[in-house]
Amino acid sequence: MASRRFRGWKRARRFVLPLAGLGVIAIFISPYIVMAFDALRPSGEVLATPPTFLPKVWTPQAFQQVLTDPSFQNWLKTSLIVATSSTLIVILVAIPAAYFTARFTFRGRIAFLGLVVITQMFAPTSLVVGLYREFYDFNLINTYTSLILTNAAFNIAFALWILQSFFAAIPKDIEESAAIDGCGRVGTMIRIMLPLTLPGIVTAVTFTFIAAWNEYVVALTLIQDDSRKPLTVGINSYVTAYQQNWSQMFAASLIAIVPAVILFALIEKYLVGGMTAGAIK
Amino acid sequence: MEALLWLGPALILIFVIVIYPAVTLVVTSFGKFSIIGLRQGSAGIQNYVNFLTSPDLGHVIWNTCVWVGAVVILTILISLGLAQFLSKEFFGRRFVRWAVIVPWAAALVVSSQLFRLLYDYYHGIINQLLLALGIINKPIDWLGNSSFIMPSMIAVGVFVSLPFTTYLFVAGLNAIPTDIYEAARIDGARPQQIYRRITLPLLKPAIFIGVVLNMIYVFNSFPIIWILNGSNPGFGNDTMITYMYKLAFKSAQHDVGMAAAAGIFNVLFILIAVGIYLRFVNWREGVQS
């Protein structure tokens, strides 16, 4: 009895699974499809009753308006500067730390790892009041620096976690032969380890960039000048009590999320690998 | 020590941006402040007293527990199923994986604003769909009605937490060697038995990480509640995080000292919550062995 059920299932499987897959795809992207369609309607039509699913008149105007809006351009510039700088800092700081922690035992290694775990728990959101006071005291409110440093510091933990497991996975003999060939610790790291851990580095870079790109609370709190706001904070001003520019907000939102989605899709195959490596600590 | 050279930059960054503000938070919580934020001296434990005796606190704590509990539990359950689905080979699987990524890659603000419109009473597509399908007769005020706002936010919270947790479980499933399944099938085990006796126990580490990380992320989650609850007055639907934020930066309250006390309370709260979960997990494993 059971075997008959199995055989039927195996044949139906080829159709049922992709169909279920289609359902899952629909659930996960349909809100964003609605957003895309709304970005392509004239602004009034977004709030029209009765509503239509597809835009009545395809109007890419919102994209044009947004891209030529100097406020938007400033927000885009800020997001790019902050995300890129934070990512650079994280990579420069986390790679040596991860390499050393993965390879060598030293006094305080456990303490260091513990500290890293704790920072993962202290999300900037909980500390935002403290962050505000600190930057206020050092006159760094409203600066790129405050955002860059904050994003870098809070993403180190994750980058370290990923990088460390990649470094640890490399067999020791490779390092030993490098030492025999006369490489110092730094030389070994740069010339041997880095190429081998490239997937891990790519994953860490992408994650950090996207995390900084999408960051909201700290930017909302620390930045007052509209020209220094990143995209995440800026786009909210399209729909307020005074104006309801939904199509522009959605056009801006699409522009804001497309890079992140593409980057994520590119590293998708490393995601599973990176998490497996991290889980088998 | 050589270690300091390699770890130094990371340590400095962590101390300046994570430890120092935490210390500042503690110091601030014991201070008295003017409306514009000038420190006026010590307040002793007055801020803590004010915070802990605030009439809104009980409600806010309850909201937070419901919010974190519902989102984490639903996310874990659904992700287990989704991960199982995604670990099977089928045509188009790559596209499904890409689709699952989207809510993760999109900024929370963006998703929150999007759902703000979708949930809208008059113009939201959710009401329109439900009306068109005949499931409801009148539109539902998802964001304004206090019975619906929490589930509405929870749904969004689950939606954006699913991708990360699903991928975590896919990684966990991948780590299980296939021979175990073969052996079990040869022994005649049925799929449900295999899942309960083999897969789930082997997934325990991944589930554990999933619960802890999600607890932290969801507890600290800000944009969803801030944006979806934005037009509701008072503190009725706030979680501890948004409550603290309103205390600090919303003009009517602007009580920096009390907000700092709230911040410390929040940090301790999540630490203790995670600690309780850790104890719970260990205790159960101890009993079983």
Looking only at Cα atoms, what is the longest distance across chain B? 75
Instruction: Please state, in angstroms and rounded to a whole number, the distance separating the CA atoms of residues B116 and B131.
Output: 18
Report pLDDT for B267.
87
Three-state SS annotation for chain B: CHHHHHHHHHHHHHHHHHHHHHHHHHHHHCEEECCCCCEEEECCCHHHHHHHCCCCHHHHHHHHHHHHHHHHHHHHHHHHHHHHHHCCCCCCHHHHHHHHHHHHHCCHHHHHHHHHHHCCCCCCHHHHHHHHCCCCCCCCCCCCCHHHHHHHHHHHHHHHHHHHHHHHHHHHHHCCCHHHHHHHHHCCCCHHHHHHHHHHHHHHHHHHHHHHHHHHHHHCCCHHHHHHCCCCCCCCCCCHHHHHHHHHHCCCCCCHHHHHHHHHHHHHHHHHHHHHHHHHHHHHHHHHC
How much of chain A, in percent, has pLDDT values that exceed 70?
90
> Is the model more confident about A280 or about B241?
B241
- Residue B13 pLDDT greater than 60, yes or no: yes
In a domain, B195, yes or no: yes
Asked if pLDDT for residue A4 goes beyond 50, the answer is yes
Give mean pLDDT, residues B156-181.
91
For the purposes of burial, counting CB atoms within 10 Å of the CB of B227, is it exposed (0-12), middle (13-18) or buried (19 or more)?
buried
Residue B148: inside a domain: yes
Output the pLDDT for position A72.
Answer: 93
Residue B43 CA to residue B29 CA, distance in Å, equals 8
Q: Is the pLDDT of residue B151 over 90?
A: yes
B229 domain residue, yes or no: yes
Assess if CATH 1.10.390.10 describes domain A63-279: no
- Asked whether residue B154 carries a pLDDT value surpassing 50, the answer given is yes
Give A271's pLDDT tier (boundaries 50, 70, 90). confident
Highest mean pLDDT among A173-182, B40-49, B68-77, B186-195: B68-77
Query: Is residue B14 in a domain?
Result: no
* pLDDT value, residue B289: 39
pLDDT score of A3 more than 80: no
Query: Minimum mean pLDDT among A86-95, A206-215, B254-263: which range?
Result: B254-263
pLDDT of A1 strictly over 50 = no
Give contacts of B 16-45 with A, CB under 8 A: 16-18, 20-25, 28, 37
Per the structure, the complete domain to which residue B240 belongs is given by 45-283
Would you say residue B32 lies in a domain?
no
Nearest to residue A255, comparing CAs of A227, A224, A225, A234? A234
Q: What's the pLDDT score for residue A110? A: 81
- Looking at the 3D structure of chain B, how many domains does it have? 1
pLDDT exceeds cutoff 70 at B113: yes
> Binning pLDDT at 50, 70 and 90, where does residue B1 land?
low
In this structure, of A117-126, A183-192, B125-134, the range with the lowest mean pLDDT score is A183-192
For residue B198, the domain's CATH number is 1.10.3720.10
Put simply, the chain B residues between 183 and 212 with a CB less than 8 A from any chain A CB are: 190, 205-206, 209
Mean per-residue pLDDT, B175-198:
83
Residues of A in contact with B175 (CB under 8 A): 276, 279-280
Residue B148 pLDDT exceeds 50: yes
Instruction: Closest CB to A129: pick one of B2, B205, B263.
Output: B263
Average pLDDT over residues B258-279: 87
**Distance between A177 CA and the closest CA of chain B, angstroms:** 22
Least confident residue range of A236-245, A263-272, B96-105? A263-272
Residue B63 pLDDT? 92
pLDDT at B288 exceeding the cut of 60: no
Out of A27-41, B227-241, B273-287, least confident range: B273-287
Which residue from B85, B105, B241 is facing A260, i.e. has the nearest CB?
A: B105
pLDDT digits (tens, 9 = 90+) for A125-157: 888 888 988 898 888 888 999 999 999 999 998
Task: For residue B263, tell me if it sits in a domain.
Answer: yes
User: Mean pLDDT of all residues in chain A?
Assistant: 84
Q: Nearest CB to A149: which of B17, B100, B206? A: B17
Q: For the residues A105-109, what does the mean pLDDT come to?
A: 77
B11 interfacial to chain A (CB closer than 8 Å) = yes
Answer whether residue B105 shows pLDDT above 60. Answer: yes
Mean pLDDT across A241-265: 89
Q: For residue B162, what pLDDT band results from cuts at 50, 70 and 90?
A: very high
Residues in A closer than 8 angstroms to B206, CB to CB, are 279
> Range with the lowest mean pLDDT among A5-9, A185-189, B246-250?
A5-9
Instruction: Indicate whether B186 belongs to any domain.
Output: yes
B84 has a pLDDT exceeding 60: yes
Using a CB–CB cutoff of 8 Å, tell me whether B221 touches chain A.
yes
- B233 at the A interface (CB within 8 A)? no
The β-bridge partners of B44 are none
Reported as a pLDDT band with limits 50, 70 and 90, residue A276 is: low
Per-domain residue ranges of chain A: 2-39, 63-279
Burial class (CB in 10 A: 0-12, 13-18, 19+), B175: middle
Is residue B262 situated within a structural domain? yes
